[in-house]
Structure 1
Amino acid sequence: MLKVSACSLGALLFLSFVQAHAAPLNLGSDAATIKSKSRSIEAEYARDIRMQHQSNAFEERPQQGALVIDQGNVEEEEAPVMASPTVHSPPQRSTSSDVIHSIPGAANTYYSGSSGYSYDTTLKMRAERKVGAGVAVGGTLGVAGFNMELNFEEADGVVAGFGTGPGYNTFQVAWKHAFDGDFLAPYTTVGYSRWYNSRGRSSDYENSDILDRVLTESEKKTGRFGTDFVNASAGLQYNQLNGEFAGLSFFGELTAMWEVKRSMILPNGSVGAIYYF
């Protein structure tokens, strides 16, 4: 039925187009003009037919059984949420370079695994490191000697040592006072030393300018002697305050040695190194 209606409607449209364009056509027109006019009429008729079919198809589309979804009856399914398993990562151990260990009683001292101990000043180091051991060349111990230092306080301590030289041995005890400083710190010492030879019959003392000046003629002949000195020194000490070598020190000092029996003052000096524990 719809097809018959569409054909009837198409015939009516064709007759209306023919009437609309019949006026311009006259019997006096040539064949080319009539042909072009007829083609344009056919083209317009074909376009109108296509538009009519598209309009009919659009109007009939809901009647051809469209699928209607009642959204009210559709229940949204919620997918169950799976709880993700908890992953427990093992605790990370801090490396030695990240750990800073506090030292009891040292407010300005700390220890880092990567850099070692660190001290703010020389006196802070002496307060923590009470005992020192080192060597010295020249000075109150002769040609060479070994020293031990015990710090009772951060600035004061006792020094004891023994040494040797050509044809004699030595020992000393002294009181040391250190002044505060960063890496370089001055210090003073006051003490007693003894140079001696109990074996006798040796002229090696002649290699020592100090003994050659203080020994008597009889002591030089027998080779046995013992001479006492009261010493006063002033020195400068370099202290390593941080890193793996914290506690290592180097020093140089000038000493005035007063020989007790002859009341003779002799200048002397020494250099050395000491490590504080």
Structure 2
Amino acid sequence: MSAVLNSNITFIGGGNMAQALIGGLVTRGLPPTRVTVADPVEKVRELLAEKEVNVTDDNAAAIRDADIVLFAVKPQVLAQVLKPLKGLLDDKLVISIVAGAEIQTIAGLLGTNRIVRVMPNTPALVQTGAHGLYANADVAAADRELASQVLGSTGLTIWVNTESQIDAVTAVSGSGPAYFFYMMESMIRAGKNLGLDEKVAMDLTLQTALGAAQMAITSPYSPSELRKNVTSPNGTTQAAIEVFDHAHISQNIQAALAAAQKRSQQLAQELSDSIK
């Protein structure tokens, strides 16, 4: 982390994901005085000022002394935010967590190719994020390491080899938390239907989800093997798995993620077309 801890970092946009990253970086030793956040909303600036970071509503002023500039704005305002900054970021590493914003689109707006594109996910808010990163050949190894350190402050970082794979990352981990929440909802509802109090069903479901994830992370066995290990022949787990298989749950999950990937591709194209 030493490299990033000696960097000045500016966030354009101070929403939840930016706040999560700032919190992670500061926890790991980055002085708050090295962080600047530009956001048009006064309440957001006031909240961040309480954390002793620098705040402003002037994007150009915010990036002046920055080594790293991270864009965390809504896709629909991307052009509005980036165009006035064109030519001002040649000596800075740009990191974008803007959904659907391809590097080519960002480069055209800013006039620089030193850009890392990231698809984060919301568990970053509790320091357990899973972030997919991509950079083209214009980004040096040292910049890649800086980007890894910035995003790694809130969780796992995985580099992909092609930008198109960011759409797959979006389908798996970007949207992924919602899939697990959906499963939790269903299990809680089922527990209630089976006679459990709602809080009991919720507590059991959430702890089971946490435990299963922790087992999968720390075990030398794959999730498939772990599932088989707890599925006794003719037992209760097998009875449930047979219902899943009969309903083609695995195939439907694969189809759902393919739909998410396709939509990610469409959104990127729509954003690009809206800016041209």
Same fold (TM over 0.5): no
TM-score range, shorter chain: under 0.3
Task: Flag the structure with larger Rg.
Answer: 1
Higher helix share: 2
* Between structures 1 and 2, the one with greater strand share: 1
